[in-house]
């Protein structure tokens, strides 16, 4: 707990210093790295501290990934569920046009895919190569997801 409090204190100091010196870009990138690492390792405590401190839940990294996409790709259900409760955009797409649903299908995370399919995202959304979620399910042999998408 002390580490988290120390981190938040440093975050506030770094943020204030960065705004004064004009170096916010590098501090922001460093904070994003910690935020995405928390999603990657299923650390809901750290994700919560970031969100409570005002960090945007849908901030994207250089590849366009959001924390929800990262948590989905890693199969981290607790981080996934927390980010959903914080209104994470379930329909967001990365720079290649891929969505969290496509990540869930690719990784074989049916339970996360099922949760994502309950949101009102465009079922015909195509990534930059023209693939839809159904195309992903078919390509990767995810028949359970494909059947769910068709119904």
- CATH no. for residue 109? 1.25.40.20
Range(s) of the domain holding residue 52:
2-150
Determine whether 67 is exposed, middle or buried from the number of CB atoms within 10 Å of its CB (0-12, 13-18, 19+).
buried
Share of the chain above pLDDT 90, in %: 77
The structure tokens listed for 21 are: 């010196």
Interior angle at CA 106, CA 140 and CA 91, nearest 5:
125
Q: Print burial letters for 86-111: b (CB count within 10 Å at least 16), e (below 16).
A: bebbbebbbeeebbbbbbbbbbebee
The structure tokens listed for 113 are: 């895919």
How many distinct structural domains can be found in the chain?
A: 1
Q: Are 133 and 105 in contact (CB under 8 A)?
A: yes
What's the pLDDT score for residue 10? 44
| CA distance readout (Å), 110 to 67, 70, 101, 114 | 19, 16, 10, 6
Q: Rounded mean pLDDT of the chain?
A: 88
pLDDT higher than 50, residue 18: no
What's the pLDDT score for residue 72? 98
In the block, tokens 């690492």 appear at 37
What's the pLDDT score for residue 109? 96
Average pLDDT over residues 75-100: 98
Q: What is the pLDDT of residues 32-66, one digit of tens each?
A: 999 999 999 999 999 999 999 999 999 999 999 99
Q: Are 86 and 48 in contact (CB under 8 A)?
A: no
């Amino acid at each position: 707990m002390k580490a988290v409090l120390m981190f938040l204190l440093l975050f506030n100091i770094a943020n204030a210093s960065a705004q004064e010196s004009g170096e916010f870009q590098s501090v922001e990138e460093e904070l994003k790295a910690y935020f995405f690492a928390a999603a990657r390792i299923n650390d809901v405590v750290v994700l919560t501290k970031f969100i409570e401190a005002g960090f945007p839940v849908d901030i994207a990294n250089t590849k366009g990934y959001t924390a929800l996409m990262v948590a989905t790709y890693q199969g981290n259900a607790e981080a996934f569920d927390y980010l959903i409760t914080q209104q994470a955009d379930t329909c967001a797409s990365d720079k290649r046009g891929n969505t969290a649903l496509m990540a869930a299908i690719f990784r074989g995370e049916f339970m996360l895919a099922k949760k994502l399919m309950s949101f009102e995202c465009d079922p015909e959304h195509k990534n930059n190569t023209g693939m839809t979620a159904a195309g992903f399910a078919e390509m990767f042999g995810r028949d359970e997801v494909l059947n769910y998408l068709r119904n």
